[in-house]
Amino acid sequence: MHHVHQKEYKNGLRVLVIPLPDALSVTTAVFVEAGTAYEQKHNNGISHFLEHMCFKGTPRRPLPIDVTAALEGMGASYNAFTSRDMTGYHVKVAPKYAARAFDIIADIYLHAMVPEQEIEKEKGVIIEEIRMYEDEPRAKVSETLESLLYGDQPAGWHIAGTPDTVRATTREAFIKYRDTHYVASKTIVVIAGAVDVRTAQQWIEKYFTNLSRGKRQKNEVGSYKHTKPSARAIHRALDQTHFALGFHTVPLADKRRFALSLLAKVLGSGMSSRLFQKVREEMGAAYYIGAANNFFKTHGYLEVYGGLNHEKVPVVLRAVANELRRMKETLVPDNELKRVKDYTAGKFLLSLETSDDLAFSYGQDLIETGKVETPAQAIARMRAVTATDIRRVAQEFLTPQRMNLTFIGPYQKTDEEKFLKMLTI
């Protein structure tokens, strides 16, 4: 089992080093508390836009090709992402290139020039990215679900923003946002793989200890309470109906997330899950059907989703409702609970096999919960969940008041109430 070396520097920078002597790679990841949760309506999407701009050149690497060619010349696997609570930059290389890769990732994070001409070009790229997700039914229905769950506040906004907010972004706005958020107290550096701990710390101290401490702003915690179920139809001429059914739950740090995670696994994770067996195997009504949790720093929700034959939507929604009621009314049998726990533990451990897997997992935990939990600790907490715990969270969270349904296909607004009535839980 690996060991995590954790350190916090005087400027507030948090560092995790995870040595894996036998690994064939080294991953460097830099995470910053800058995402949709820290935005305002007028600059929605700026976190994601800035992520793009960090690859557009630095004083030492003035052109975008100087950055990408240097990374690809090492055979690196690299990328960046923006989520509700964070932005992350990561690069994975063979151990002999680790120091050079760290130099590049630190350079783009700390010294991106954000050139005016690249901003204007990238606006078109991001608007096309937004349009791409608009044209993808599975992405569109899930995005709409978040909007329905949280409304007009950061948790309900599109991570990439809107075409209007993207077009309105200026270089001055980028610099102000970066100076506010890309500071040491909001930054976490993770190095995992075939690297010596002291060597990794020396790299970090060389580049990051002069980073301004800054101030850790709290992300906005809005009001997520609903008093009645809601639904939203999206009209599209599609060959399949896609739906997403969501229930407000808890943030990642809440101890109830372990019971909620097992609840979702029983419902819809894996081919032996209840929804898969019922809707796909028995009814033949869907190719994909499932359930999953989405946990964030200040909130969370459980989602049931699927892609269905139009004609079978009524019977599938009723079947989903039956399974949700079953979770609330009866205890999960011992043999099923054991199988789901073994499945969950196995999938979790497999998700930590590589250096980048470990970097992402530990980095996200530290951002979202403020602490690091070992795999053994997490698995022990999961295995301690009882069938009674699962029924309790089902009764607490799977209620009509918390229910939000989105669906996309050949439908009108008048179908919203009709579909909701099929979900008697």
Q: Is residue 24 helix, strand or coil?
A: coil
* 30 has pLDDT over 70: yes
* C-alpha 145 chain-centroid distance: 15
Name the 3-class secondary structure at 382.
helix
Give the burial class of 153: count Cβ atoms within 10 A of its Cβ; 0-12 exposed, 13-18 middle, 19 or more buried: middle
* Domains, the chain, ordered by start: 5-208 (3.30.830.10), 230-421 (3.30.830.10)
Cβ count within 10 A of residue 338 = 12
Q: Model's pTM, two decimal places?
A: 0.94
Q: Helix or strand or coil: residue 341? A: helix
Question: Kind and range of the H or E element at 27?
Answer: strand 26-32
Tokens for 35, please give them. Answer: 């995402």
pLDDT, tens digit, 9 for 90 and up, residues 317-337 = 999 999 999 999 999 999 999
Q: Where do we find the tokens 């819809």?
A: 268
- Res. 1 pLDDT band, cuts 50 70 90: low
User: Distance (Å, rounded) from C-alpha 158 to C-alpha 101?
Assistant: 31
What whole-number percentage of the chain has pLDDT above 90?
96
How confident is residue 221, by pLDDT bands cut at 50, 70 and 90?
Answer: low
Q: Comparing 60-69, 126-135, 211-220, which segment has the lowest mean pLDDT?
A: 211-220
What gap in Å lies between CA 182 and CA 87, rounded to an integer?
Answer: 10
Q: Does an H or E element contain 235, and which?
A: strand 230-235
CB neighbour burial string for 355-386, b if at least 16 within 10 angstroms, e if fewer: bbebbbbbbbbbbbbeebbebeebbeebeebe
Edge-to-edge, what's the strand order for the sheet holding 77-82? 5-8, 14-19, 187-193, 26-32, 87-93, 77-82
Strand partners, 307: 242, 288
